[in-house]
């Protein structure tokens, strides 16, 4: 029989939202575990520098601030369990989380699993993943020193990462499917006149080409209707995010895009099940808002557990 561990609060995901929620519950003397499948930090840990998190006037490294958040939560007693969640039973009073490393039971669960990159879904993407197809410039950018690379997308992520890649790559093509960027003006300003970046407007990727590694892209221009082959050594895909919501499908109410619905106190439709961070249905996904969600969820968790004690 698999081992069962009991906690007051189980936080699913150890990104900024999950680590903040755990900091608050652990500091309120609640036995807290963060269950994380990769390593603490989430998408923040793969961000080179974060410029819009208050308190760091010159910006701060994503990895550095992630480690600090983890250390802070652990200082108050929160535990980190590295395991994949395979199933959840959330409609019970004592919620059960089945992981690849035993079962966790807790009366309160905070969903903070964040998002993951959306795939482009073109031929060659799967086959050449890790061989020139990347979703993380900070992880893989240094492989492309003095080479030419492409970034797909027109949002804040695509623009920020394209600028980051100019540290290594000789030239960066930004492939934008419309005739304008979705990125916010302050982010756009970093790229529009960048000497190493060439923006290709109205351009979609039809296929990623290469024998054993990426060698070129087959592009289609939606305005001119022309197709061309663009030789590049790597392609970085930043075409949006999808919520990591598979573990609780059918149990928790979500919006039409699959993000979890919650009230202002981060309560979902199920008693004792809270949500925080990018996986929540909301308008602004930033580290600052993730941390805010986490703090509220942590306090709501404490109040919920107090109310259970009073009832019991």
Does residue 155 belong to the site contacting ligand NAP (CB under 6 A)? yes
DSSP single-letter state for residue 302: H
Q: Which C-beta is closer to ligand NAP: that of 19 or that of 174?
A: 174
Nearer to ligand NAP, 106 or 152 (CB): 152
Q: Which of residues 84-123 bind ligand NAP (CB under 6 A)?
A: 120
* CB contact at 8 A, 262 and 273: no
Three-class DSSP category at 80: strand
Position 182 contacts ligand NAP (CB under 6 A): yes
Nearer to ligand NAP, 88 or 181 (CB): 181
Q: Any contact of residue 52 with ligand NAP (CB under 6 A)?
A: yes
Residue count, binding to ligand NAP (CB under 6 A): 21
Which of 56, 286, 288, 299 touches ligand NAP (CB under 6 A)?
286
The CA distance from 227 to 122, in Å, is 15
Interacting stretch for ligand NAP, rule CB under 6 A, among 57-65, 68-76, 174-182, 218-226?
174-182
Cβ atoms within 10 Å, residue 52:
11
Q: Token pair of 1, please?
A: 């029989």
The answer to the question of residue 241 lying near ligand NAP (CB under 6 A) is yes
- Tell which one of 149, 158, 172, 273 touches ligand NAP (CB under 6 A): 158
Q: In this chain, which of 187, 217, 232, 235 binds ligand NAP, going by CB under 6 A?
A: 187
Check binding of 204 to ligand NAP (CB under 6 A): yes
**Under 8 Å CB-to-CB from 285, ≥6 apart: which residues?**
115, 241, 278
Short-list 2, 16, 8, CA closest to 79: 8
Q: Which residues contact 1 (CB under 8 A, 6 or more apart)?
A: none
Q: How far apart are CB 146 and ligand NAP at their closest, in Å?
A: 26
Question: Interface with ligand NAP includes 285 (CB under 6 A)?
Answer: yes
Residue 7 near residue 304, CB atoms below 8 Å: no
- First and final C-alpha spacing in the chain: 30
Contact status, residue 237 vs residue 152, Cβ threshold 8 Å: yes
What amino acid positions are annotated as catalytic residues? 136, 139-140
Q: Does 276 bind ligand NAP (CB under 6 A)?
A: no
Phi-psi label, residue 20: left if phi above 0, alpha if psi -120 to 50, beta otherwise: alpha
Cα separation of 85 and 134, whole Å?
A: 25
Regarding 153 and contact with ligand NAP (CB under 6 A), the answer is yes
Binding flag, residue 240, ligand NAP (CB under 6 A):
yes
To the nearest whole angstrom, how small is the minimum distance from the Cβ of residue 22 to ligand NAP? 23
Kindly list the residues in this chain that would bind ligand NAP in the complex (CB under 6 A): 52, 120, 152-158, 160, 177-178, 182, 187, 204, 238-241, 285-286
């Amino acid at each position: 029989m698999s081992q069962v561990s009991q906690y007051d609060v189980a936080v699913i995901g150890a990104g900024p939202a999950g680590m903040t929620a755990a900091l608050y519950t652990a500091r309120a003397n609640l036995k807290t575990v963060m269950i994380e499948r990769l390593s603490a930090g989430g998408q923040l840990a793969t961000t080179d520098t974060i410029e819009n998190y208050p308190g760091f006037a010159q910006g701060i490294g994503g990895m550095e601030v992630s480690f600090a958040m983890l250390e802070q939560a652990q200082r108050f007693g929160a535990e980190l369990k590295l395991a994949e969640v395979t199933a959840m039973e959330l409609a019970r009073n004592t919620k059960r989380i089945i992981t690849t490393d035993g079962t966790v039971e807790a009366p309160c669960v905070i969903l903070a699993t964040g998002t993951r990159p959306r795939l482009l879904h073109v031929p060659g993407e799967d086959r050449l993943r890790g061989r020139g197809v990347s979703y993380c410039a900070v992880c893989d950018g240094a492989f492309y020193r003095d080479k030419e690379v492409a970034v797909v997308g027109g949002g804040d992520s695509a623009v920020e990462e394209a600028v980051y890649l100019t540290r290594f790559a000789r030239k960066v093509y930004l492939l934008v499917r419309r005739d304008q960027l979705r990125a916010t003006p302050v982010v756009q300003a970093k790229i529009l006149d960048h000497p190493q970046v060439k923006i290709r407007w109205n351009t979609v990727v039809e296929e990623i080409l290469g024998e054993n590694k990426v060698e070129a892209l087959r592009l289609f221009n939606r305005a001119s209707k022309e197709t061309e082959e663009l030789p590049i050594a790597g392609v970085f895909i930043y075409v949006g995010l999808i919520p990591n919501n598979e573990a609780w499908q059918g149990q928790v109410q979500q919006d039409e895009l699959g993000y979890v619905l919650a009230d202002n106190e981060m309560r979902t439709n199920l008693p004792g099940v809270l949500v925080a961070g990018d996986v929540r249905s909301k308008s602004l996904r930033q580290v600052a808002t993730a941390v805010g969600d986490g703090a509220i969820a942590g306090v709501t968790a404490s109040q919920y557990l107090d109310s259970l004690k009073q009832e019991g």
